[in-house]
Amino acid sequence: MDISEARAAAVNASNRLKTLLAPAALGGHHLRNDDRRTIEQQKLVDRLSDDAKRLAALADQRGEQWRLSGAALQAVESWLGMGRPSGTELIEIVTEPPKPARTKAFSI
């Protein structure tokens, strides 16, 4: 579920709660706040609203991470494109990965 779907679900649940509480003259069901159906609907509204807020906060956090990593990438690309001294060349060196050192197992 993305942010817009989560927000839409929260709004729909909130509108349903308003319909349950509204007077019959306004097209509602005129239920009381302590009715089982309104309590369940309020719980659903709260849960969906919390989900939408959580997804929005997560999207903001990830957006900030993407922005920061993009800035680092741009700086590296700029350095590689213009920052190297003339007459130099970047060469990739491929080596074998280091082997782990042998350690003695200690027994208790």
pLDDT, the chain, mean: 88
Does 102 reside within a domain? no
Does 97 reside within a domain? no
CA distances from 47 to 12, 33, 52 (A): 13, 18, 9
pLDDT for the residue 57: 94
- For 62-80, write each residue's pLDDT tens digit: 999 999 899 888 888 887 7
8, with CB counted inside 10 A (0-12, 13-18, 19+), is middle
**Which residues form the domain of 75?**
3-83
Structure tokens at 33: 């706040």
Does 28 reside within a domain? yes
Does 88 reside within a domain? no
Does 37 reside within a domain? yes
pLDDT for the residue 105: 61
Specify the number of domains making up the chain.
Answer: 1
Does 46 reside within a domain? yes
Does 19 reside within a domain? yes
Does 103 reside within a domain? no
